[in-house]
Each structure stands twice: as structure tokens, then as C-alpha cells.
Chains A and B, each alone.
Chain A
Amino acid sequence: MEDDGNDKGKNKYSIIVPTYNERLNIALLVYLVFKHLRDVDFEIIVVDDGSPDGTQEIVEQLQNVYGEDRILLRPRAKKLGLGTAYIHGLKHASGNFVVIMDADLSHHPKYLPSFIKKQLETGASIVTGTRYVKGGGVHGWNLMRKLTSRGANVLAQTLLWPGVSDLTGSFRLYKKWVLEDVISSCVSKGYVFQMEMIVRASRKGYLIEEVPITFVDRVYGSSKLGGSEIVEYLKGLAYLLVTT
């Protein structure tokens, strides 16, 4: 059951991309994934939550270009949130590895080969993209955003000691069975979800490796995470303190 991909040639990567109003971004993303993953067996699973901007039409057009076996559209009727979108996508994944990435081009597909390479080299269960090491970085954040990000990180590092430098980043590669295991024990929503996933995985003793990524703030479309992010974050931190 647990195919860990010791036989390199047989590996298949399922890239799960949740979308909500990303009609332009998803097209650009798909092009870039195909450009950067040349000799790899992969599929892209788009989980669209009934975007009113017609994201699904674009995905269908992309299927005509790249094939329905490479781009899978697995929509849901209405906006049900990110956490469940991953679970939904995962059900349809046929690879032995799963990549989770945002559609908004903040996660650039050019890093996919380095995730895959790192996994093959180390046999890691999870490879997570980190912005806070040499070779990584962020573009387009104002001082306030940087401050909250650093503050949140210092707080989480001191209290949780997770052994991962970028807790809230969500560009990651998982062994499929590891993702299934970890995701089933996570209950958080939204922003905290990414942090819960990596903390639980680390507590369960899975080998986690990091690769540097750069993060350019979204250019097209609008952010879906709003308002009381800081409060939610603190609540999530408290929750993780008592449950992990």
C-alpha cells in the first residue's frame, strides 16, 4: 500500500491546486508547470469552489490543450474552504506523491524540480518550501506584513519548537499516504491549517526537509484571507499548544 517511490521511474506526482476566482492565474500556472516539469509523470488536480469568475471554463479550455488526463477538474458547488479542498483533491489523486500549491503564482512552478530532487535525495516524507533561508525570499510585502510574519514566526518557534523554519508556507510535497495520515488528524481552518499540518507531521516523526522558495505576492486576483488573521493565528497557536 505504501509506495514510497524507491523506484524513481514509477513515481507520479499529483499537484493539487485549490482555486477561487483565479481564471487568469490558473492558466498561467498550468503553462508554467508544464514548462518546468518535463520528464516527470504528473497530473494537476484543480479543486474549484464554484468561482463566479468562470475559472472552470478556463480549466476546460486548458484540458483541450493539455489533455483531460493531465488536468483534472474536480469542482465543488460552493466555497467550502481550503482545508476541505485539499481533502477533496486528495481523493482524486492517482500519484504516489502529492504537491499542494496555491494558484495565485506566489508559489512558482519553477521550484517543483527542486522539491522532487530533494525528496529523491533524502527520502523525506515531506518537503516544504521555506522563504526564510538563503536563496529564499519574499517580494511585495509592506512593513506591517513583514512584522506580523516575523512576530508570528518567533512566537511559534519559541513555543512549539517544530523544527521547520517556515510554518505558514503551504508550498509542499508529500508522500501521498503521509498526507492522508496527517490531514485526517487536522481540524483547523484557513491560515492555521498549514501550521497544524506541519506541526503534527513533525510530532509524528515524519522526516521533513526544506527547500528555499521565493514568494512574490499575488499580482492578479484578490486575497481570500481577510480580517482577523492575527486573532485566528493566536487561537491556532493556543490550540496547538494544548493538543500537540
Chain B
Amino acid sequence: MKRIIKIITLLVAVSALWIGLLQTSVLPHSYTWLLPMYSIVSLGCYGLLMVGVGLMRFPTCPHEAVLLQQDVVEAKEFLKQRGVDVSGSD
């Protein structure tokens, strides 16, 4: 099943549940009316939280840049001896 159909199915199911709630009034009506709002806000919060956590835990590797520089020096040395032109942009 295409992803979009899955998502739409989920949305339809949730709305059906909500309409059901509205009609049976197990919860007070005023509260049920606000539920979609709450869910959208919490979805947004979840997204922001995930991005925030991702940013805070963003894995960095400054040491790798140093290692790469050493590799570059080594490679240039080797290649120059064998007649490969490695001059230019430094």
C-alpha cells in the first residue's frame, strides 16, 4: 500500500473515532471539540522535540578532520613522487 494511503487511512480512522466520541458524549462536548487541537499541538511538539534532541546530540568528529589532513599530506607526497600532478588549490 502506498505510504500516503496508509497515512490517510490512519487519519480517517482517527476522525471516525473522534466523531464517535462526539456523538456518544462519553466525554464532555467542550472537551471533545478541543481534542483535534490538542493532537495537532502535541504532534508539533513531538516534531520540535525530536529535532531539538537531534541537534543537541548531533554527533561531531573534529578529530576526523585532523586525521584527514594527515592523509592528504601522505597522499600528496606519494603521488608527487610518481608523477601525478597534485599541485593547486591548497
Q: Which residues of A contact B (CB under 8 A)?
A: 23-24, 27-28, 31-32, 57-58, 61-62, 64-65, 105, 108, 131-134, 136-140, 146-147, 150-151, 153-155, 158-161, 214-216, 219-221, 240-244
Q: Assess whether B51 is in contact with A150, with CB atoms less than 8 Å apart.
A: yes
Q: Is the CB of B54 within 8 A of A244?
A: no
Contact A242 B65 (CB under 8 A): no
Closest partner residue, chain B, to A150 (CB atom): B54
How many Cβ-Cβ contacts under 8 Å join chain A to chain B?
104
Size of B's binding interface in residues, CB under 8 A = 32
Closest 9 CB pairs of A and B: A137-B61, A137-B59, A150-B54, A31-B75, A214-B61, A214-B64, A61-B84, A28-B75, A154-B50
Cβ 8 A contact of A31, one of B7, B79, B88: B79
The answer on a CB contact under 8 Å between B2 and A243 is: yes
B58 within 8 Å of A by Cβ?
yes
Bound Cα distance from A134 to B57, whole angstroms: 11
**Contact sample, A vs B, 29 pairs, CB 8 Å cutoff:** A23-B85, A27-B86, A28-B72, A28-B75, A28-B76, A31-B74, A57-B85, A58-B85, A61-B83, A61-B84, A61-B85, A64-B83, A65-B84, A131-B59, A132-B59, A137-B60, A137-B64, A139-B60, A139-B62, A147-B51, A150-B55, A150-B58, A154-B54, A216-B61, A216-B68, A219-B68, A220-B89, A240-B3, A241-B2
B interface, by DSSP: helix, strand, loop or mixed?
Answer: helix
CB contact under 8 A between A108 and B68, given known A65-B84, A241-B4: yes
Question: How many whole Å from B33's CB to the nearest CB in chain A?
Answer: 26
Q: Whose C-beta in chain B lies nearest to the C-beta of A59?
A: B84
For residues 41 through 90 of chain B, which have their beta carbon under 8 Å from a beta carbon of chain A? 47, 50-51, 54-55, 58-62, 64-65, 68-69, 71-72, 74-76, 78-79, 82-86, 88-89
- With a cutoff of 8 Å between Cβ atoms, the chain A residues found around residue B89 in the complex are 24, 220-221
Contacts of A214 in B (CB 8 A): 61, 64
Give complex CA distance A244, B64 in Å.
37
Q: Which residue of B lies closest to A244 (CB)?
A: B3
Q: How many Å from the CB of A199 to the closest CB on chain B?
A: 9
* Cα–Cα, bound, A154→B54 (Å): 9
Nearest residue (CB) in A for B87 is: A24
Which chain A residue has the least Cβ–Cβ distance from B77? A31
Closest to A147 in B: B55
Give CA–CA (A242, B1) in the complex, Å: 10
- Once bound together, how far apart are the Cα atoms of A77 and B35, in whole Å? 59
Is A136's CB under 8 angstroms from B54's CB? no
Q: How far is the CB of B88 from chain A (nearest CB, A)?
A: 6
CA distance A221 to B55 in the complex (A): 28
Decide if A138 touches B3 in the complex (CB within 8 Å): no
Chain B's nearest CB lies how many Å from the CB of A78? 23
CB of A153 within 8 A of CB of B84, answer no
Contacts A24-B88, A137-B64, A216-B65; A242 near B59 (Cβ below 8 A): no
**A138 near B60: Cβ-Cβ < 8 Å:** yes
